[in-house]
Structure 1
Amino acid sequence: MADEAALLEALKDVIDPELMINIVDLGLIYAIEDDDGKVSVDMTLTSPACPAGPQLMQQAKMALENLEDVSEAEIKLVMAPPWSPERMTDDARDHLGMF
């Protein structure tokens, strides 16, 4: 069983190809649960029509399943509540020039 910090750190390796910011700092991760190595993630996209959505979800699954303490990862796409820029970290906002 991995702790949440380790799971989030692994997900930081997944970079949105349009914005060049990781999905954690973008605020796309809504929830993470670890049930004895079976990890479930609620994830959203910056827009419902995001063309990189399937790629980001697959990369998130692979990043988690590469961890020793994770036997299986399920990425669930959720669109409620809708993503907004307020979910981004300060670092992500700085990267995009948002103040």
Structure 2
Amino acid sequence: MTADLAPDMAAALSEVIDPELGLSVVDIGLIYGAETTAQGGLRIVMTTTTRGCPATGLLVEAVRERALASGLAASVEVELTYDPPWTPDRMRV
């Protein structure tokens, strides 16, 4: 998966702010990709800046809720991965 998101997806997820860095999960490069499932739902793959990040649960739930609230899909699954590990060169800012 790539970090190239559809504009509406990027706009919706840009509203999710990482509490540590104060930047959006899209700008930080935490969103690895998104795809529509065979059932018409949405699968988002994301990471955090480090394993064991205390904000992991908050970020995953915020991404899921924001995607649902934006009407992008009726169901949203967020998959957390650390492969590949996040590095600062993923940042867009």
Give the TM-score band, short-chain normalised.
Answer: 0.7 to 0.9
Maintained 8 Å contact 1:37/1:69: no
- What TM-score comes out, normalization by structure 2 length? 0.88
The residue identity in structure 2 corresponding to 1:72 is S
The 1:85–1:37 alpha-carbon spacing in structure 2 relative to 1, beyond 3 Å, is same
**Structure 2: runs of 5 or more not aligned:** none
Q: Find the counterpart in structure 2 of residue 31 from structure 1.
A: 33
Aligned partner of 2:87 among 84, 87, 91: 84
Write the letter of the residue equivalent to 2:27. Answer: D
* Aligned-partner Cα distance in 2 for 1:45–1:73: 18
Structure 1 stretches lacking a partner, 5+ long: 92-99
Give aligned-pair identity as a percent. Answer: 35
Secondary structure in structure 1 of the residue aligned to 2:26: coil
1:87 Cα deviation (Å)?
A: 0.2
Give, in whole Å, the separation in 2 of the partners of 1:58 and 1:41: 11
- What residue is the counterpart of 1:44 in the other structure? 47
Q: How many residues are aligned here?
A: 88
Structure 1 segments (4+ residues) deviating >3 Å: none
Match of residue 64 from structure 2? 61
Calculate the aligned-residue CA RMSD, in Å: 1.5
Structure whose alpha-carbon radius of gyration is higher = 1
